[in-house]
Structure 1
Amino acid sequence: MKKIMLVDDEILIRESIRERVNWEKEGFHYCGDAADGELALPLIEQHMPDILITDIKMPFMDGLELCSVVRERFPHIKVIILSGHDDFHYAQTALRLGAADYCLKPFSAADLLQLLRTVSDTIDREENEKKRDTYTAEKLFADLCGGLISTAAAIKVADQLKLQLMTSYYAVAILTLSSTDPTKPELDPARCTEAGRWIHEQLCEQIDYFMYKRSRTETVLIIKCQQSEEPSLQLQARVNDLQLLLHAQFQCELTLSVGGVQERLQGIHISYLEAEADHLERRMLRQNKDALLHTSAGGFDENVLLDRNELLDFLKLGCSRDAPDFVRAFTSRLDNVNWDSLYAYYLMHDLTVEMIAAAKQYFQRNHPTDDVLPALQQQIKHIKSHDDCQHYLLSLLDQLWTWRQAGTDKYSELIHAAKLYIRQHYEDDQLSLFDISKQMAVSSSHLSKIFSQETGQTMTDYLTLIRINKAKELLKLTRHKTFEIAFQVGYKDPHYFSNLFKKVTGLTPTEYRKHSFEQQTEQVGKGKKQR
């Protein structure tokens, strides 16, 4: 049995958790509790629990300090954080300090037991890995994501395991399976394994990646990219394609969280942290929706009342001038809401989290939200009327639109400079993303991502278009041979240039020149007839 210890300064919570769970029956041993971290430390040394459950906000020694001490002195102990909406950003900090997971208040005994079983499975899996003599591929991938292995050591282990680890770019994604069967809200192991295997078979045909299971329902992908274009769109499109089949065959759905593209092996850890932050936001949103459904009368379906896509589309494309009319029409569907109810809080909190997530995706992917959400949560608590709701949504839209404006203002000059540099140096056959980003004084991955987001095309596509347009001009106005034109526009290989030219224009260079000559001759003939 795994030993469990609880630390929380609220005696009612300690007693509730202690008494409401039949620990022995569930396969755990409850070995004690304490009111704060300072009182808990001697008990931890005495009992050596396998899993420590701790609240974040406590007097004397809070949960973050306790988590840090435990991770340093007793690294084998898994820490679960108890977090409320108001201190969710503290939970994110705790996860970075090494906490195994978090549980969002309020929670049921079933929620806590499910989390304890997941962490218990993790402990068992890690113990089994320690018994093995060799470094497994899954452990290598997990250590890369956790930032626990150096580049030299990772390359050495990959060579031993005969893994082709090195590539140009990396990104991390987290795939999470959840049940859509209301009669079976938890995925059973057999269905989860079967669905996971099927997903892997579908994805591996189009995407190059390594993977490891983080839990029974969560899989981490380390995506290998040859180009710096962010793989999230390709992966999201493929996941969207699989959703209907997943629902029909396995009665489950797939949630995707993706980190940014990185150039180095050590950057895998950064991308993993970004994917984890995205994953936590999505999980929080899902838990908030569950709470929303639970607190509403009669099993209320929020999609009947509110069109979330309408709100998100206005966030993306709307403007301040039209905002009052839009918000007035949107909130007219909330006339019957009791603004003093818990349901009203969950409803507005749900909309807020969803709008922040959309704004990050549309405007500034890496904008920190842990300093934004707590302040908004305080504002939500003061919504006591329909007018307050309208005022809050207008204020939120204005705040998120500042991200959009900042992104537009910030990157327009950078994109203009990059395009100008490409137009001035397109004939250089050695011109690369690295050269351009060096001139712009930014990282190549950042420049590539911003260029794609702002222009809707990759830098490679833009460079190709500039070169092909110049080649078309030379084919029309000069008698230079094809290989000479190829060299003049930045291509050493005439055969590659010809194939690329046909791919873009639909004609070979020779066909294009002939067609252009015939058009010019025809125009001259028409001119003579008119005279």
Structure 2
Amino acid sequence: MLKVFLVEDEYVVREGIKNNIAWKEHGFDFCGEASDGELAYTQIRKLKPDIIITDIKMPFMNGLELSRLVKKDLPEVKIIILSGYEDFEFAKEAINIGIEEYLLKPINAQDLLDTVQRVSKKIMTEKEERENMMKFRKEMSENEIQNKRNFFHELMDNSQSLPYILDKGREFGIDLNAGYYNIILFKASRVKHQEENFSNTLVQAYDELTSYFDSQNILWFDRNLEGFALLIMAETVKEMEELQATYISQIEQIIRKYNKITYFGGVGCYVNRLSELYLSFEEANRAFAYRFIKDENQFLEAGAIREIRQQEDNPWASLTDTEYLDKEIAEKFLRSGELGEVSYFVEEYLKNFNQAAKDSLMFRQYIVMDMYFITANFIEKLNYKESGFKLDNPFQSAQHMNEIVDDYDHTLKFITALFTKAISCRNEAATKKFTNIIEEVKEYIHKNYQNEELSLNQVASVVNISPSYLSTVFSQETGQTFVKYLTDLRMNKAMELLMCTNKRSSEIGIEVGYKDPHYFSYLFKKTQGCTPLQYRMNKSKSGEDQEDAKERY
């Protein structure tokens, strides 16, 4: 029931409007009245009516002044002006304020009721439009996340022009103008050996983190299995340092509430040009790769890596000492590292051996053999027989081994290639493993698209994998998000029914999974550019034109 508030300084007129219309019988709640704008304003802010009926000429505060104040506080409220003055300037100002109706006195009860009912229909239509928009945005949030993720990649690979990036940012409501920029990468994980269903706790932690980011207007990107990226923007270096410290402190405080979660973050170096943001990302990535080498539960800054590199190299008194060559670190990286991190990881993993490796041919041979056996063993454990990946065997000839170890750079390049192939093989094996699952998902969607409750979470539970992982794999396999695939399927089915049956739009909406006919019509127009009725009429007319053309020829 919509609420109506009346502001009128003439007592007789006010009582007539209040008592001569059966407000409740017509679906309205007459929630309050006042004799002038000043008294009305306080009550209106408290009662929040849907419709205000107000005179213009009143003592203390007139109707236009009241309307101007109310529209600032309650922009969705509808205002009907009553005036005894047929003055164009009054009407012009009312239009500028956003007044819904401008009625001249005297006005009878029926005319006023008709106007209020007309305004109420507009309110209901706008409310429905907002609800449909909110529902649409919620359903399409997966698309928005994916689009934002793609934008992040464009930002970081420095392949697009500055005007393009700025315009693209505006499409997401992002203002990228700042004095300084920096990137923070971080990821939270369950504690090793924790139960598999602990992923719900991770979801709760990430939800709390993203709520914090949004509340502070922090620009964040979901990198899916790789965690989160924050783009920090500031006008001065001091402000940048303060913001980073505050954000990192808050992130750690939130994650530590979930005591069975570990985390690691990499902080880049700040730059003062948006076109140089990729440099900050590279440094953040290098620091982030240290999660396989350094202790967890910390944020490592790019500057700290430079300090580590300046420390004295390990002397390696005995070249057979393997204390510093932690094979578990390499194996951990092969299990969960990313292709984009390989060069950073290998370089930092072997940094302790720089001097010894540069000075000793024997030691370079030792490293090559050890890394080869680690990667070969890893690929063998994958048990992936379909792969065309073949490791470069350093033992195929003495000459080949000599080429690999003749200097440290060649050795580093060889090990980087080994790890790249191993992770590529791992990724392909994982993708192939889920190919059948994606086919199962598609089949399930086609069988159940008529169910309005069908969702990513529901389908993920059917195939027994996490929603976030299903979202990633589904996008990789099909080239589109789950929600777009489902929406396209439903819209195609709807178009078939519009052309091949005489069913009403509401019936077709139900058949393709939308019980709310208004939302179905809204979504159809949003995705197809016309309403279901317009689509049917256009296609019918197109068919008639084709028939006429055939007859002419």
Range into which the TM-score falls when normalised by the shorter chain: 0.3 to 0.5
TM-score (norm: length of structure 1):
0.37
Q: Which of structures 1 and 2 has the bigger CA Rg?
A: 2
TM-score (norm: length of structure 2):
0.35
